[in-house]
Structure 1
Amino acid sequence: MQTLLALNWKMNKTPTEARSWAEELTTKYAPAEGVDLAVLAPALDLSALAANLPAGIAFGGQDVSAHESGAYTGEISAAMLKDAGASCVVVGHSERREYHDESDADVAAKARQAQANGLLPIVCVGENLDVRERGEHVPQTLAQLRGSLEGVGADVVVAYEPVWAIGTGKTATADDAEELAAAIRGALREQYGARAEGIRVLYGGSVKPENIAEICGKPNVNGALVGGASLKVPDVLGMLDALR
């Protein structure tokens, strides 16, 4: 299975900055065998990425509407992302769940829309610090996963992101990541049977060049969803080198 390095820019980079980033990457990028690279960018940046990313690097959105089209001012449909050249989209990121009150049902609806329009949904799940401290992180995360995959096909990526480790500098240990990734794999087998073996499970939360190899070296961790370290090309190249 190919490792997936998914770069989540969050609300960073203007289209001009996105073009400069892609141009810099183009001058220095060498594919890493066994590693897929995808850039998850603000919708306004997608045209700049389409025109300037090196061949073979995918890009996608950070959110998508649960609706096909219609009177939903400000939302972006899966068909729009697909037409812009996107191949994937993040749904259910913890920031969307917290700041926009997205439920598991909302996330599942968005994932279904993505799949219906030929996009690969990257479905995010993970626990808050208080849940982990109570020792309830596994059942809570699996319940969130099941709700977020209701009616969703097996053509999906799951990203485990402990909320307490996102942008805080705190990182779950590689063993912590494997514990949840293995539990997620088990839940995927229950839902999808043998097809679960082909579903990539990512870890997200303060991933950087110094720790990515250890985390992704675990048997059930098939890549990383990277935030802050995705913004600078040298950091991205460092992560790719660590995964070679």
Structure 2
Amino acid sequence: MTTRQGTAKQREVERIMAILSRAIAQHRLPPGTRLVEAQIVETLKANRNHVQSALQRLALQKIVTIEANRGAHVSQPSAREARELFAARRAIERGVVESITPEKMGKHRKRIELHMAAERGALQARDRRAVVRELGEFHRVLGEICGNAVLADILENLMVRSALIEALYQGNDRSSRQHEEHGEILDALAKGDNELAIARMRYHLDHLESELMLDDEGEPVVNLKEALSSLG
């Protein structure tokens, strides 16, 4: 395989991974959903080998589980994994918040304003899927602003896995309060009070974890083509 062919394959595998990850993060593909290769190939107009590579890489990231007799399905994190993931998020998001200065906030002011407007719009429209997407995107925006690509990459993986946990275990709907907490974090960062921002982020994550109801769910029935068709 030439270098050019290798690069093209990598881009295609990454495209498939990005679409599947986005569908999972937006709760289009709930935990336990079977990921039938033939349907993904058809829907995303992809090569079967590329789809297999994408699923294998997502399995390494704990987003997908591949079993000998069951094939691939969206991972179903245990209660223990949920607690461990939130512990990891506290550590990583502390690092993200510590790295954000008032200068960085100013540089990305328009990006922040657009995002917070999107959160408000989704809440006002009572669009559950859009609310899930925008509330999760807030943390990705902070990862982008902090300027540390390694932290941002780790956070991206944690956010997709968090979406699985929320889909399985989220109890009460506290979307409006999450939006308010996001605003409080941004206010502290804009003032250069990183310790306050860290405290508010920890409070925010503690609240998210406290709302989890650790009950098992059965395997969901999902139209895979419908879930992926608008993301390609």
Q: Report the TM-score, using the length of structure 1 for normalisation.
A: 0.24
Structure with the higher fraction of residues in strand conformation: 1
Higher relative contact order (CA 8 A, sep 6+): 2
Q: Report the TM-score, using the length of structure 2 for normalisation.
A: 0.25
Structure showing greater Rg: 2
Structure with the higher fraction of residues in helix conformation: 2
